[in-house]
Chain A
Amino acid sequence: MTTTPSGAAAGAPAIEIHDLHKSFGPVKALDGLELAVTHGQVAGFLGPNGAGKSTTIRVLLGLLRKDSGNVRLLGGDPWRDAVALHRRLAYVPGDVSLWPNLSGGEAIDYLTRLRGTVDKRRKAELLERFELDPTKKARTYSKGNRQKVALVAAFMAEVDLLVLDEPTSGLDPLMESVFMDYVREAKDRGTSVLLSSHILSEVEKVCDTVTIIRAGRSVESGTLDQLRHLTRSAVTTVVTGDPAGLAVLPGVHDVQTTTVEEGTRVTFDVDNADIGGVLTALSAMGVHSFTAAPPSLEELFMRHYGDELAQEEAAAKHAADAAEPGARSRAGAR
């Protein structure tokens, strides 16, 4: 822990959630969620619609009351110490709604004054970078422009933590890159960031760690590299020997064979953890050619989102893996 913003309890992570449960009547929105963000880290928070991202964030903001579990935010209790904690964080909701009788500029000033004073230079700079007209009345803004109002208000002051709930869902690619610049700027200052999203490229660009949740549980978490280790590689190889023994090896899936000039072309997926055994077996078969493609995050994402039963099971298995301390070291942030 090298970057500890002033005022934060030393050593305490920016966000620490353990076994969080939250139900709305019969709907279990969160079901044993785990999440941790260290100081100065940008953490991606991924999950399909209805996975519980917004619910988690609202618990973190003290807007919702947890049913059970441990939640610490900047070393404090998000429900009890809400006001004190909110001085040190900024939040951008996914669906921004503004006061109908205020202009965008007024809304920004109002929100900023709730915490401190308005730095006019900073406001002018942000408005220019985000190409936002502050004189429009809130009702006449498009979704993206409403979101920009909330983003400008969030980036106005230096804070210890940025909580962003799908902040780019309404932005065009140009504005998205402006947004990324400001996230990086915040990170360079030592601000921790929790960034929820459906969009992988966004998360990949700026995040140090990623947590993937589904149906209110974390199914995967770690640095981007660690997550790739947990996943399968796609192998294409041509062997001269008989490849029949491959299919029974642990961690090998979807074996397909075709006869070609040089021998037999085999394609299969292999769990990266089991790749050693596969290589040993292959070398005994006489390898003519060999390619192994690392999984893109895309695949990783699709696997957790896909609806087929097999994938469900895989997700459950990985959730179990993720629960092992070794597979989930989060301290290794750069």
Chain B
Amino acid sequence: MTTTLERPAPPAPAAPAARGGSTLTGTWSLIRFILRRDRVRLTVWTVLIVMFYAYFTAALGLMSDTPGALEARGALMETPAGIVMGGPGYGIDNYTVGASMANEGTVWMVLALSIMSILHVVRHTRAEEESSRSELVRAAVVGRHAPAVAAVVTLVLVNVVIALVSALAMTGAGGIDELPMADSLGMTVGVALSSIVFGAIALVLSQLSEHGRGATGLSLAVFGLAFAIQVAGNLREIPGGTTLSWFSPIAWAQQTRAFVDLRWWPMALSVVAILLLLWLAAILASRRDFGGGMIATRKGRADAKASLRGPFALAWTQQRMALLWSCLGLGLMWFATGTLIPDIGTMVGDLVSENPAMAALFGDDPSTFATGFLGVIVLYAVLCCAAYAIVMAARPKAEETAGRLEIALARPVSRGRWLGAQLSVATLGAVVLTAVSVYALWFGAVVVGESEPGFGPYSEVFLAQLPAVLVYLGFVAALFAWAPRLTGLGWALLGYTFFIGFFGPLIEDMPDAAHYLSPLYWVPEAFVEDFDGVAFVGLLAVAAVLYALAFVGFRRRDVVTT
């Protein structure tokens, strides 16, 4: 008697590509779809990058008004620290605005654009495939390679636009005499091509890894490797670097010698690499299944370890790998930076004794310049720790939107206990990472025989900076509890701090209140000012209030999925 209600039939399987169709059918509509979907995103990237080019150029132009300043900068770029932060040093003997721009700016522009390229490619290929959205798209009349090709085409398009506009902006900001158009293009196009190389690498890795996050992580790791190769190669010989440098795609942009003695052919290396990588990606893509990867996922345990008991244990297993890699990566980086500290002091000392005009720039006392440099490094290190804190404090939101929070809370687990577990693991990680960063810097200096400042001052710096890091954590946690959609504001606070910290002093008429919003404003300047107990307690209190707000808010609100 009873008939069963038919379940809705699953969507029809992908029709074989339509008449005359190929594996590329539908590429054009996908391209338009990507451009429409990402119009804001891509516009913001373009504007930011172009502004960076223009800002650097203008800042260097201002600097060149001071006699000897560029020359001193050139000398600085010959030191190991300079090489790490800059490039192969073309034109440092006669350092012009353009030479400085190309030597120091290239690697950072490649970094910024490569991050954009990697995110773009993974977003439109692997991440899309991972969610079921792409399945819907594929089921329509769309060829197998169409999504990847659409991602690459839009990537090239954006990079070309950025390169052209940036070249105009640079020449515009620096003047056509100082920065000829051809050289500007030489720099920006070289940078764009290197960035596309990393985008293509991301495409290959997207075929290998099953998960978008894995593909992004691997691609960034490849960038880190390319960065290290380039530094190692350049450290041995300046200007120009060694053969080793040429193994890094970053070098292919640096070696155009823009504004010094422009040559175009290194870019051909990028073009060849891009074509080879795309070919490799196509081969891999044809061999694998939709949704599958090449790196097989390992089997897991049938039973949980006895220690996996309770939300704290779970939060720890979720966050420990990220903590481990952050500690290793950042620890090594700050250790390496620490080993460079003595060079800074010696170099400035030589410079000042040779050329008294330099004293105006660096001060009379070389040791203060070294500590000034240290202060900037500490600022970078703390910003990295704050970024870690922001990422980890946003983990609860990911748990919630994925629906895992719901299953946990449907068990006898109170909201306070669950959030407490997440936040205490995040806090623990932030404390450990801050300690590792600061003491790695100290240890690097000790290894090369730099015993001043000693362990004591470094510990003071660690203690003074820690509450600020926790303020970022608490801020994101409170946002998660009261306005989960706005957790992204944590990044805005970090960006604001960065801006105020580095550019604030340059801007006249900046109201004091603008500084107060930056948690790091309240931290005494590292190695220069004394430890400030009031600031320490004050920041700690702010962090505590934010944590408390998080718990109060989270207990009151709805748990939402999707």
- Residues of A with Cβ closer than 8 Å to B? 58, 61-65, 82-84, 86-87, 89-91, 93, 95-106, 109-111, 113-115, 118, 120, 134-137, 139-140, 150, 163, 198-201, 204, 294, 296-298, 301
Contacts and interface: CB of A to CB of B under 8 A. Distances in A.
B301 A198 contact: no
Contacts of A135: 299-302
Contact of A83 (B7, B300, B406, B414): B414
Given A105-B304, A106-B304, A97 B402 contact: yes
Given A83-B413, A137-B297, A64 B558 contact: yes
Contacts of B4: 199-201, 298
A150 B556 CA distance: 27
A144 to B, nearest CB: 13
Contacts of B397: none
B406 A296 contact: no
Contacts of B407: 91, 93, 96-97, 111, 150
Interface stretch (B224-232, B310-318, B459-467): B310-318
B287 interface: no
A32 B5 CA distance: 27
Contacts, number: 134
Contacts of B66: none
Nearest to A305: B5
B16 interface: no
Contact of B412 (A97, A114, A297, A298): A114
B5 A98 contact: no
Interface string B284-314: 0000000000000111111111001111001
Contact of A134 (B302, B411, B412): B302
A118 B309 CA distance: 11
21 contacts: A64-B558, A64-B559, A83-B414, A95-B403, A97-B404, A103-B299, A106-B305, A110-B304, A110-B308, A113-B304, A113-B308, A114-B408, A114-B412, A135-B301, A136-B299, A136-B300, A137-B299, A163-B410, A296-B1, A298-B3, A298-B5
A46 to B, nearest CB: 10
Contact of B410 (A91, A97, A201): A91
Contacts of B403: 93, 95-97
Interface string B504-539: 000000000000000000000000000000000000
A296 B5 CA distance: 11
A40 B43 CA distance: 60
A200 B409 contact: no
Interface in B1-59: 1-5, 7
A197 to B, nearest CB: 10
A24 B114 CA distance: 40
Contacts of B300: 102-106, 135-137
A110 B412 CA distance: 12
Interface in B370-423: 402-404, 406-415
A200 B3 CA distance: 9
Contact of B558 (A65, A87, A98, A105): A65
A87 B303 contact: no
B211 interface: yes
The residue among B408, B411, B557 with the most chain A CB atoms within 10 A of its own CB is B411
- For the side of the interface on B, what is the size category? 35 or more
Contacts of B317: 101-102
A111 B411 contact: yes
The residue among B5, B402, B404, B558 with the most chain A CB atoms within 10 A of its own CB is B5
B210 interface: yes
A109 B311 CA distance: 13
Contact of A115 (B5, B409, B411): B411
Contacts of A97: 402-404, 407
A115 B407 CA distance: 12
A65 B304 contact: no
A270 B362 CA distance: 98
B308 A61 contact: no
A298 B410 CA distance: 33
A231 to B, nearest CB: 14
Contacts of B414: 82-83
Given A83-B414, A106-B304, A110-B304, A58 B3 contact: no
Given A97-B402, A113-B309, A114-B310, A103 B302 contact: yes
A199 B3 CA distance: 11
Contacts of B2: 200-201, 204, 296-298
A140 B556 CA distance: 35
A139 B211 contact: yes
B411 A86 contact: yes
Contacts of A201: 2, 4-5
A99 B411 contact: no
A93 B404 CA distance: 10
A109 B302 CA distance: 9
Interface string B414-444: 1100000000000000000000000000000
Contact of B7 (A89, A199, A294): A199
B314 A110 contact: yes
Contacts of A200: 2, 4-5
B1 A63 contact: no
B412 A99 contact: no
A140 B406 CA distance: 21
A199 B5 contact: yes
Nearest to A200: B5
Contact of B559 (A63, A134, A140): A63
Given A201-B5, A298-B3, A86 B304 contact: no
A135 B303 CA distance: 8
Contacts of A297: 2
A139 B297 contact: yes
A102 B408 CA distance: 14
A109 B3 contact: no
Given A99-B314, A135-B300, A301-B5, A63 B404 contact: no
Nearest to B313: A110
